[in-house]
Structure formats: C-alpha cells, structure tokens
Structure 1
C-alpha cells in the first residue's frame, strides 16, 4: 500500500512542478515582451524603407498604434 502512495505522490509532485514551471515561464516571458516589444518604430521605418517607401511620422505612429491594439486584444 505504501508503494502506491509513494508513486501517487511522485506523480502529483511532477504534475504540480510542470504546472508551476509553465506558469512562471509564461509570466517571465510576458514581462520580457512588455519591457522589450518585438517591433519598435525604428524597425517599422526600416521595413518601409526596404519596401521603397519613405514613411511619415504619422504613418509610423499609426502602425505602432495598430500593433499595440492587436497585442492588447490578444491579452
């Protein structure tokens, strides 16, 4: 009987460790992405320049606003 209890405790501890590890990793990644967004204004300017366009400041800000709106929806 005690071996079944030991096996059950090991399985419960393993599942709990995986769940807690996933939660902490997710929180860490969300914090990192909030502090260091993957796309910034300079990247948008470079991307538009590569497409042969000279973006105005208004266009860059509009694109950043759209990207931020999409990110907020995903949360």
Structure 2
C-alpha cells in the first residue's frame, strides 16, 4: 500500500517540477528579450537600406516603437 503512495508522490513531484521549470524559463526568456531585443535601430536601418528604402530617423523610431508595443502587449 505504501508503494503506490510513493509512486503517486513521485509523479506529482515530477509534474510540479516540469510546470515550475517551464514558468521560470519563460519568465527568464521574457526578461532577457526585453533587456536585449533581437533587433535594434542599426539593424533596422541596414534592413531598410537593403530593401532599397532610404530610412529616415522618424520612420525608424516609429517602427521601433511599434515593435516594442507589440512585445509589451504579449
């Protein structure tokens, strides 16, 4: 009888560990991406120049603001 209790406790602890690990990893990645965004103004300027557009500072700021707003809304 005590063997199945240990098995149940083991399964519950395993599931709790997986869930806790997932949420800790998710929180860490969200804060990492907020501190180190995957794209910055220089990368955006280079991308626009490669596409044949002449990027103005106003347009770049507008696109960065839109990307940051989208990141914050998630």
TM-score by length of 2: 0.93
- Mapped pair 1:19 → 2:43: no
Which blocks of at least 5 consecutive residues in structure 2 are unaligned? none
| Cα drift, residue 55 of structure 1 | 0.5
After TM superposition, the runs of 4+ consecutive aligned structure 1 residues lying more than 3 A away are none
Number of aligned residues: 74
Which blocks of at least 5 consecutive residues in structure 1 are unaligned? none
Could you say which residue in structure 1 is the equivalent of 2:65? 65
Could you say which residue in structure 1 is the equivalent of 2:52? 52
Question: Over aligned residue pairs, what C-alpha RMSD do you find?
Answer: 0.8
